[in-house]
Structure 1
């Protein structure tokens, strides 16, 4: 079994993520965005599993869950599977192979497929190339939504447009920039998935999906995590920020396509770059870090970008449909049970998605397999109960036993609530679980009910 990630925290909220295997090497050593020297000695938040800990019994797990009587809060259609992470033994299952609407736990599928397809060390490039005329610069989107519009962006460790602009000025030599053309043509298909609820494109959690954007299309990179006002024209917003870095007005920005490398220029000279020639390049943080950010913040823009990276690797169109087909291909290549799976998007905002609990628990088990260290980065991004991400404000009162013992991805749409991740039992055994409910009564408190299930597993040996 792969080493289980340990999250520890010291006074002053210093955060340390201890990553198993080669992940630290993929990040090039300590990552200042996620590590800091704890002072004084940190206290443990997520316990290390014990390989010798006794495994719960199916009868014990079923009894622990049945006594909670959560059907009133979650409805009668509960899809659930709980397995021992080390052995894969099923400890409880209720419609485990029946696909249902997963909401944001879809991001677990996006995470495992992009880590498998791109690899944890891959960085998404953004390039600037020479335009058809002297002084024209084309900003070409490579699908990095974390690209920072200035010196300080929303995402830690992001590539920056001001750095790209400085490279462009050097590459142009004595030629002054005159115009910025933005090219987001890497993506195809609609900018909004047809299965999204009508308020998602303008609701601050979703929006226009483009291969070229800055700060996750936020109008203000200083926005808090979660809701934020987003640009309806992310390509032009990125172009205006790039133009400003080059000393050009916003009026110098227009949409277009980059010329093919080597294409004839209307006024080229030997001293000027040829049309289409690369002038500058910046790259995102490593893929393992992007996956971590996507899961911890449940970042929908980042999820859609990573899904399209899978499509590009698989030779599919970088669209919603192409990404869904590509991710299903990678699931099959990984030997995961994808029968009946439908992936309309990579974020889980679409109600057309269908995922079964068994696929989720097997993803978690595969990511913990020591033979697949490239996938283990998935665990670093899972929010910790009562501590981080979408679980920061959960696991109080009735579910307090799960605080610090549950690490999981949540999912929420109107009438749909889900959670999937890992939990350490009172005896130190690690279980993987997936719980999805797609007909939740409007008057219920489904999040508490879901948390109580995971907390029950954390608080007992279940034998």
Structure 2
């Protein structure tokens, strides 16, 4: 089992919860939630600032002693948590099947496990990405980068090159414009083509044929557990180890039918712009085992990829991560190997999925079922392992960032910015899983799931779910 040696270093779980990357700090800063842990800003001594001319000021004296930081809150109670959530989880708009679980982030046990309707498992939708992201970081080092390369191919009448896909989920068609903000880092085939052209010219070659190799991933490109119209209707791309812009076309919406061929076409066009004559159209071609590498571009580090997947709920990138888990753990980049790999690495880390069944990495499958307590265990693991920190820092901040930027508008106002959560949305399904810090300083992990919502109640159910999560941040649950 190819798994990195995890350093089991305990981290300050509350700090992990609140420290955000880039714009993700907005909620925490707005409510001063970081102040107790980050401390005051660098002080400026007012005695060293000269007063304006003609102004008499009294001498600066030492201020009286002030009380220290407030003591840690007493333990949260199950009764207080239940009281905070009950008014919202009883909302009829959530439908007849609602599951909820809440636990301390830095402790053991479960404060609340409740349900309405039959069954202790629910359709997780995109909360599945929390599990996929954690599994990827358990299976690989957070600094792992995925390479897209170009190698020589001497077969045939015209010397050639092969574009080799390495499973970069965010490989782009072109580099970002100077005024275009990009995060995480992004490799692109236009840059790869320029570097390839320079290498070819240095060898005296100005005419090549182009092949492309997407054989890193195997098995079906779409899950048999997805709805039949997902790929034909352009809802999600066929999963490929080689694509640009996640399989989206240059114009319009939807997805291209063959992402690898489209990526090779974009690369060939960029080669031509760089002064290289390309013979014919790119063709699928497995790279020779002993081929010389001409050029390579590398993806963002895995930790950044996981953060982005969770922040914006990226289905395509989540499925690529599942394939990488399969490669790292099972030696095979397929849906089936990815599922087995997720189960193995989580079990090895002490997370019992129980009777949960996850058929993909994104949560698009309506046949998946997940125990909300398993989600709590994954989130708590992320709070105790430094290597898994991106699972928490990638969670959107309620009412401020990512997939929660336009939500929590009707939730308890004090909860905004104090909740970070991954959304889960399919027709009839609304879920949230993440972390919350209440007004007394208790930090929780939670999973709230409803999977029998009437279609006409979709927005009201989402608001009720937001309100329940917001109530955790707005309560004093001691």
Check whether TM > 0.5.
yes
The equivalent residue for 1:312 is: 327
The equivalent residue for 1:159 is: 187
The equivalent residue for 1:342 is: 357
How far is the alpha carbon of 1:437 from its aligned partner? 1.4
Structure 2 Cα separation of the partners of residues 198 and 374 of structure 1:
37
Q: Which moved more, 1:187-196 or 1:299-308?
A: 187-196
Aligned positions of 1:78-93 closer than 5 A: 78-93=98-113
Aligned positions of 1:141-152 closer than 5 A: 141-152=165-176
Structure 1 Cα separation of the partners of residues 376 and 195 of structure 2:
46
Aligned positions of 1:317-328 closer than 5 A: 317-328=332-343
Structure 2 Cα separation of the partners of residues 413 and 392 of structure 1:
19
Structure 2 Cα separation of the partners of residues 460 and 49 of structure 1:
19
Structure 2 Cα separation of the partners of residues 95 and 316 of structure 1:
39
Do structure 1's residue 138 and structure 2's residue 162 form an aligned pair?
yes
Do structure 1's residue 99 and structure 2's residue 121 form an aligned pair?
yes
The equivalent residue for 1:405 is: 418
Q: 1:177 to 1:307 in 2, by over 3 A?
A: farther
Structure 2 Cα separation of the partners of residues 128 and 175 of structure 1:
15
TM-score using structure 2 length: 0.81
Do structure 1's residue 236 and structure 2's residue 258 form an aligned pair?
no
Matching residue within 279, 285, 289 for 1:261:
289
The equivalent residue for 2:198 is: 170
Q: 1:185 to 1:46 in 2, by over 3 A?
A: farther
**Aligned 8 A contact 1:143 1:212 in 2:** yes
Q: 1:5 to 1:100 in 2, by over 3 A?
A: closer
The equivalent residue for 1:4 is: 16
**Aligned 8 A contact 2:169 2:316 in 1:** yes
**Aligned 8 A contact 1:17 1:380 in 2:** no
Structure 2 Cα separation of the partners of residues 207 and 167 of structure 1:
28
Q: 1:312 to 1:411 in 2, by over 3 A?
A: same
Structure 1 Cα separation of the partners of residues 232 and 81 of structure 2:
42
The equivalent residue for 2:62 is: none
Rg larger for: 2
How far is the alpha carbon of 1:348 from its aligned partner? 0.5
Q: Secondary structure at the match of 1:412?
A: strand
Q: 1:233 to 1:49 in 2, by over 3 A?
A: farther
The equivalent residue for 1:114 is: 136
Count of residues in Structure 1 that have an aligned counterpart in Structure 2? 416
Any idea what the Cα deviations from partners look like across 1:45-102, whole Å, max 9, x if unmatched? 7556778233321011112222335341212221211001111332110259933210
Any idea what the Cα deviations from partners look like across 1:346-367, whole Å, max 9, x if unmatched? 0000112221111111111111
Matching residue within 213, 216, 226 for 1:183:
213
Do structure 1's residue 66 and structure 2's residue 86 form an aligned pair?
yes
Q: Secondary structure at the match of 1:339?
A: coil
Q: Secondary structure at the match of 1:246?
A: helix
Q: 1:338 to 1:281 in 2, by over 3 A?
A: same
The equivalent residue for 1:75 is: 95
The equivalent residue for 2:307 is: 292
TM-score using structure 1 length: 0.83
Do structure 1's residue 216 and structure 2's residue 224 form an aligned pair?
no
Structure 2 Cα separation of the partners of residues 156 and 92 of structure 1:
36
**Aligned 8 A contact 2:174 2:189 in 1:** yes
Structure 2 Cα separation of the partners of residues 376 and 7 of structure 1:
10
Gaps of 5+ in 2: 1-11, 38-70
Q: 1:252 to 1:155 in 2, by over 3 A?
A: farther
Any idea what the Cα deviations from partners look like across 1:164-206, whole Å, max 9, x if unmatched? 2233223331012421111111111222112222332145541
The equivalent residue for 1:36 is: none
**Aligned 8 A contact 1:411 1:417 in 2:** yes
More helix by share: 2
Q: Secondary structure at the match of 2:144?
A: coil
Any idea what the Cα deviations from partners look like across 1:325-381, whole Å, max 9, x if unmatched? 111111111110122222211000011222111111111111111xx2101111121
Q: Which moved more, 1:106-115 or 1:82-91?
A: 82-91
Aligned positions of 1:8-19 closer than 5 A: 15=23
Any idea what the Cα deviations from partners look like across 1:11-54, whole Å, max 9, x if unmatched? xxx73759xxxxxxxxxxxxxxxxxxxxxxx6457556778233
Structure 2 Cα separation of the partners of residues 317 and 58 of structure 1:
44
The equivalent residue for 1:330 is: 345
Which 4+ runs in 1 deviate beyond 6 A? 48-51
Q: Secondary structure at the match of 2:16?
A: coil
Structure 1 Cα separation of the partners of residues 366 and 207 of structure 2:
46
Do structure 1's residue 375 and structure 2's residue 383 form an aligned pair?
no
Q: Secondary structure at the match of 1:252?
A: coil
**Aligned 8 A contact 1:83 1:432 in 2:** yes
Q: Which moved more, 1:146-155 or 1:42-51?
A: 42-51
Gaps of 5+ in 1: 19-41, 263-275
